[in-house]
Amino acid sequence: MSEVGEESEESGKQPEVTDIEMTELPVEPEDSGDLVQLLHVHVLRQLRQAQRHLLGMKSLSSLVKYLLEDFPHGFGSAQAELRLHDPEEQIARLLPIRKMFGSSLSLKSDNYALYQLYPDLPDTSLIDLDDRRMFNILSGASNAAGAIMMPLFDGDRLVGSYHIALTETMTAYGDQERELFAMLGQLVAAALLRVVEYQRVDQLTLLNPVTEVGNLRAFRRDMLREIYWARRVNHPMTLLYISLDELADICKSYGEVACHFVQRRVSQRLCSELRATDYIAHISATHFAVLLPACNEPHAHDIGERMRRDIDDFAIDDGRGAVLHVSLSVGLVCWEPSRHPVESSERLATQMESEAEAAMQKAERAGGNRISVARLGLLML
C-alpha cells in the first residue's frame, strides 16, 4: 500500500500537547466588524481538525504531505514550507519520496540556519512583507501577504521550522491566533518525532538479518511506492531478479557461515553498482531483487550486465584460506507507463515479480551467468 495514501485516524494520548480546550468564542453573526473574532473561531476549527489528523498518522510521507498541502489548503493558503534538522540523514532515509515536495521541504545537517530564522528566542511569529525574513522563506509564494513561522522543538532543541503563507484576509490575525499556531507547532513537532521513531523501529523489521539490506516486505513496499511515482511522472521502471548460481554448492561444501559471508559480500558489491535512487533487497536465501526507477530496458540491461561481469570476476576470500566464486543469473522486466497503462498498482507489482522470476529461472536453466529478458504484454495488465 502506498505510503502517500491517507492515514486512518486513531485515538492517542499526548497530554502535553493535545489537551487543548476547543471552546469556540461567542460570535454575533450580525456583527460584521468583529473580524478578529471570526478568524479566531476559524483557526480553532482548523486546529481541531489538525489535532485529529496528526494524532492518527504513522507515515512520515503522509504527515509531510498533510503539512505542506492539505493543512494550508484549509486556510486557502497558497503555500507551506517545512525545514527540518536531519544531521544523521535519518529523515532522508525514511522519506525516499521527498523529491515530490520540491523546495517546500528541506533537510538541514546543521540547525544554525534554523536559529537564524528567529532573531531572538525561537517563538511562533506572524510576519508581514516588511519583515526581511520573507526573503528567506516561502520562495514560491509570490502572492503571499506575510507568513506564520512556527519553530519545532524536541525539548529545548530546535529541530525544525514550519511556515505557512498568509493571504490578505489572514493579515488580521493577532495574538490569539499566534497562540493557537504556537499550539499547532507543538502538535507538529510531537507528531514528527513520534512518526520518525515509529518508522525507525519499523525499518528494523524490513532488513534481512544476514545482509542487512531490505527483505521481501521492504522490497514490496518500495516497489508499490515507485510504481506510484512512475505513474505520476510517466517514467519507466525496471525490476531485476538475481540468483546466486553456486551458493547451494558453497553452503554444502563450506557450511552456512561461509554461505552467509558470500551473501553479504555479494550484496555489498551489488550495492556499489547502483544509483542512490535504486533499491536492492534480499528476498530469499539465494535471490536478490533490484528495482531501478526511471530506467528503461536497454539501460537496465547494461546495468545488469555490468553486475554480472563484476560478480563473475569477484574473488571472495573467506578469511580461512579459501577463495570462493559465484555467478549471477538475472531476470529482467521493464514497465513503461505510457505503453502499458494500469489501473491496479498491486496487480502490476505481482505481474512484474512473476515475469522477472520466470526470466531468472530461464537464465538458470540455460546454464546461469547470463541475463534473460521478459516483457509485459497488454493482456497481462
The domain spanning residue 99 has which CATH number? Answer: 3.30.450.40
Give the whole-angstrom CA distance, residue 341 versus residue 335. Answer: 9
pLDDT at position 255? 86
Judge whether residue 370 has pLDDT over 80.
yes
- Judgement on whether residues 36 and 152 belong to the same structural domain of the protein: yes
Q: What is the pLDDT of residue 7?
A: 41
What DSSP string describes 68-82?
IIIHHHHTT-S-EEE
84 in the same domain as 51: yes
Q: Which of 86, 93, 87 is nearest to 204 (CA)?
A: 93
* Strand pairing category for 105-108 and 146-154: unpaired
Which residues 6+ apart lie within 8 Å of 302 measured at CB? none
- Best-predicted range by mean pLDDT (112-121, 124-133, 152-161): 152-161
Does 197 score more than 80 pLDDT? yes
C-alpha to C-alpha distance for 356 and 291, rounded to whole angstroms: 11
Task: Name the burial class of residue 198, with classes exposed (0-12), middle (13-18) and buried (19+) by CB atoms within 10 angstroms of its CB.
Answer: middle
Question: Nearest 5°: phi and psi at 281?
Answer: -140, 145
Task: Please state the rounded mean pLDDT for residues 215-241.
Answer: 92
For residue 3, pLDDT over 50 is answered with no
Is 43 within the bounds of a domain? yes
Q: Rounded distance, CA 270 to CA 201, Å?
A: 26
Does 7 reside within a domain? Answer: no
Indicate whether 141 pLDDT > 90. Answer: no
Distance from C-alpha of 119 to C-alpha of 80, rounded to nearest angstrom: 21
- Count other Cβ atoms within 10 Å, centred on residue 157: 9
Weakest-pLDDT range from 32-41, 63-72, 85-94: 32-41
Q: Please tell me the total count of domains within the chain.
A: 2
Q: Binning pLDDT at 50, 70 and 90, where does residue 28 land?
A: very low
In the chain, the largest separation of any two C-alpha atoms, in whole Å, equals: 90
Residue 4 lies inside a defined structural domain of this protein: no
Confidence of residue 44 (pLDDT cuts 50, 70, 90): confident
**Is the pLDDT higher at 101 or at 288?**
288
Q: Across the chain, what does the average pLDDT equal?
A: 84
Is 97 domain-assigned? yes
The domain boundary, picked from 204, 236, 270, lies at: 204
The pLDDT of residue 288 is: 95
H or E stretch covering 325: none
39 vs 255, more confident? 255
Q: Convert the pLDDT of each residue in 307-360 to its tens digit.
A: 999 999 998 887 677 788 899 999 999 999 988 888 888 999 999 999 999 999
Same-domain status, 117 and 21:
yes
The DSSP string of 307-352 is: HHHHHHT--EE-SSS-EE---EEEEEEEE-TTTS--S-HHHHHHHH
Please indicate, yes or no, whether residues 334 and 376 belong to a single structural domain of this protein: yes
Q: Which domain holds residue 313?
A: 216-380
Q: How confident is the model at residue 378 (pLDDT cuts 50, 70, 90)?
A: low
Same domain, 200 and 222: no
Q: Nearest CA to 38 among 172, 137, 144?
A: 172
Under 8 Å between Cβ of 3 and 199: no
Residue 210 within any structural domain of the chain: no
Q: What is the pLDDT of residue 35?
A: 56
Read off the C-alpha cell for 159: 529541530
Please answer whether residues 73 and 42 qualify as being in contact, where contact means their C-beta atoms are separated by less than 8 angstroms: no
Of 154, 290, 319, 170, the C-alpha closest to 222 is: 290
Tell me if 61 is assigned to some domain: yes
Q: Is the pLDDT of residue 34 over 70?
A: no
User: What does the pLDDT average to over 102-108?
Assistant: 90
Q: What is the mean pLDDT of residues 39-66?
A: 85
Residue 126 burial (CB count, 10 A): 18
For residue 75, which phi and psi values (nearest 5 degrees)? -100, 0
For the residues 73-83, what does the mean pLDDT come to?
86
Band of the pLDDT at 13, cuts 50, 70, 90?
A: very low
276 and 347 inside one domain? yes
Judge if 194 and 272 occupy the same domain: no
Predicted confidence at residue 276, as pLDDT, reads 81
Element counts in the chain: helices (H) and strands (E)? 12, 12
